[in-house]
Structure 1
């Protein structure tokens, strides 16, 4: 009986220690028919409560193993609570020069993530991030989804 009680205490401690801070924001957008069309622009709206906090922005793209290129270009359009706008090009490497996957491959899915670490937001309020595919073709085929997360910087309390 005492061993069983101690086992539950160990399990409880492991569960509590494995729980980190929840992301400030974490959403995904799935593309119809696994194709990111040029006219499809996923929008993510983030409410930022603290301008002194550092954050990590995490963007994850999932493609199938049938994706035909070694990279994927897209643009991030951002809008601050006060209406200022910006546009930033981003490249995610999908495959290495030798043809191997640069991200995490599992079955027919390849997941690639890009991080923007130790970033601050200059204003409190709602930010809008719009993603626009930036390849030269009308459709980025075999792109399953895109995820956008804003996470408190783990090195700051």
Structure 2
């Protein structure tokens, strides 16, 4: 597992990681797992989920299940829906060419108030309209990740 720590004068990003999906497909059974570095317990942070998709992604939105495990064992589970495309079909997000990266807000002004390591698991929960079973292989997803940024006090 790799962890990318970032420190720059131009950004508030202090940590992040990205995992590639094999064959640009995200199986419904695959959780993408991360660990957060030790963070200041007083200062609030914003946590984002990062999704990179290609033109092969067949939906205008995405459903994700995020599980945040606290150091002392508490688990926070959220089912999240994010818009990925405009009504005209153009992708949201940034990037040039066929790959777009979406920075999706997960936690705002969040305090990592328990000392120790936090763990984040992300899985996809996309379904076709009318289907009770989820999409087993979500096509067009190249990478899944997170970033943590310091909040700015204005």
If you compute each CA radius of gyration, which structure gives the higher value, 1 or 2? Answer: 1
* Equivalent position to 1:46, from 36, 48, 52: 36
- With over 3 angstroms needed to count, the CA separation of the structure-2 counterparts of 1:61 and 1:96, relative to structure 1, is same
TM-score by length of 1: 0.80
Query: Which consecutive segments of 4 or more residues in structure 1 shift more than 4 A?
Result: none
Of residues 64, 73, 77, the one that matches 2:67 is 77
How many Å separate the matches in 1 of 2:39 and 2:88? 44
2:135 maps to which residue? 137
Aligned to 1:122: 113
Q: How many residues end up aligned between the 2 structures?
A: 139
Once superposed, what is the RMSD of the aligned Cα atoms?
1.8
Equivalent residue in structure 2 for 1:31, among 10, 21, 24: 21
Bigger mean CA offset, 19-28 vs 40-49? 19-28
Which structure has more helix as a fraction of its residues?
1
Distance across 2 between alignment mates of 1:154 and 1:121: 16
Q: Which runs of 5+ in 1 are unaligned?
A: 1-17
**Matched residues in 2 for 1:49 and 1:100: separation?**
37
2:92 aligns to what SS in structure 1?
coil
TM-score, length of structure 2 as denominator length: 0.82
Cα deviation digits, residues 36-61 of structure 1 (max 9, x gap): 00121111101333221110112110
Q: Is the CA contact (8 Å cut-off) linking 2:26 and 2:139 kept in structure 1? A: yes
For structure 2, the residue ranges without an aligned partner over 5 or more in a row are 1-7, 127-133
Secondary structure at the residue paired with 2:23?
Answer: helix
Contact 2:39–2:112 (CA<8 Å) still a contact in 1? no
